Chain A
Amino acid sequence: MRANNKIERRQGVIARFALALWVLGTTSLCFADPDPLELAVHPVMSEEDTLQRYQPLADYLSQKIGRQVVLRTTPSFFPIGTAYVNPIVMI
C-alpha cells in the first residue's frame, strides 16, 4: 500500500514537472517568434529593384527592434487588383 502511494506521488511529481516544461516551452516559443512586421514600399521602381534597394532598411530595423521585418511591395500602381486600387486593401 505504502509502495503504491510512493509510486503515485512520484508519478504526480513527474507529471507536474512535464507540464511545467511544456508551459515554459510554449511560452518561450511565443516570445521568441512573434509575428513579423511588414514594411511596405511604394512602387516607384520595378518590384525587383524596390525589394533589392530597401532590404537593407528592413534588415536594419529587424536588428534594432529585435523582430523580423518583412519587405512588401506591388509591381506597379496601375494593374487591377493591386493594393493601390482600393484604399481599404491599401493599408
Chain B
Amino acid sequence: MILDAAHFTDYRAQKFGYDILAKMPDSISYSLIIKENGDIHGLDDLVGQTVATLGAPSLGATRLAAIFANPARQPIITNVATTDEAIEKLTQGKIHAAFLPSTDIIRAWSRLANVRVIVTTEPIPEAAISASPRLELSIRKAIQIALLHAAKTDDGRDMLAQLSITGFSPATSQLYAGYSNALKQYWGY
C-alpha cells in the first residue's frame, strides 16, 4: 500500500494495476510565494532566480515545471526536503521564491512576514492510498472499508484527529486519470 500524490497514484493505477482504495479529503493546490520587498514582482522576474520546491518528481516540482514551460526561461530550482526548510530559506533571504502546497502556506502564515502569493495552481485531488494487485482482494476491501468508515468509530476518529483530517473520501481511478502525464518529462517514467 502507498499513500501518494495524484500523479503517482494515477501512474501506479495505469502501469501496475494498483487499486485506489480511498483518498485524503478535499483537493490540493500549490502557491508560489515571494518576499514582498524584493525585486520580484511577477513570474517573469523569477527567470534565472532561485525557487525552492520539494525535489522532482514531487507534485510541486511537476506543477512548477508546467508554469515555467519554456526551457529558455527557467528559474533555478532549489530542492528542499520539507516545506519548513523552504519557508526558512525564504524568510532568511537565501532563495527568491518558494512553491509549496497552499495548505502548508496557510498553516505557516503567521511565520511568514512580508510574504506575498503571486500564483496559485488549480486544485487537484489530494493524495490517495492505493494497494498493489498482489495484495489479496479481501484484504484490500477490508482496508477500504476501515478507511471509509473511520469517522464512524471511536478508534477511527482518534486516528483521524491525529492525522488532522475529518475522514477519508471514496476514490476511483477515473478521478486520478491523466495526472500521471506530468511524469512523462522525467527519465524512467
Contact = CB atoms under 8 A, between A and B. Distances in A.
Contacts of B56: 77-78
A40 interface: yes
A77 B3 contact: no
A85 interface: yes
A17 B3 CA distance: 48
Nearest to B183: A87
Count chain A CB atoms within 10 A of each CB in B57, B135, B159 and give the residue with the most.
B159
A90 B4 CA distance: 11
Contact of A37 (B4, B101, B135): B135
B188 A44 contact: no
Contacts, number: 94
A18 B25 CA distance: 55
A91 B132 contact: yes
Given A61-B146, A77-B61, A39 B3 contact: yes
Interface string A28-47: 00000000011111111110
A59 B74 CA distance: 44
Interface string A61-86: 10111010100000111100000111
A43 B162 contact: no
Contacts of B79: 76-78
A77 B57 contact: yes
Interface stretch (B7-15, B91-99, B109-117, B170-178): B7-15
B181 interface: no
B163 A87 contact: no
A1 B158 CA distance: 72
B188 A85 contact: yes
A50 to B, nearest CB: 9
A22 interface: no
A38 B5 CA distance: 17
Given A39-B2, A65-B143, 18 more contacts: A38-B1, A40-B1, A40-B4, A42-B4, A44-B83, A44-B101, A57-B159, A60-B146, A65-B139, A75-B81, A76-B54, A76-B55, A77-B54, A77-B55, A77-B56, A78-B55, A87-B11, A91-B2
Interface of A: 37-46, 49, 53-54, 56-57, 59-61, 63-65, 67, 69, 75-78, 84-87, 90-91
In the A-B complex, list the 6 residue pairs whose CB atoms are closest, starting with the nearest: A78-B55, A64-B146, A77-B55, A76-B81, A60-B159, A56-B162
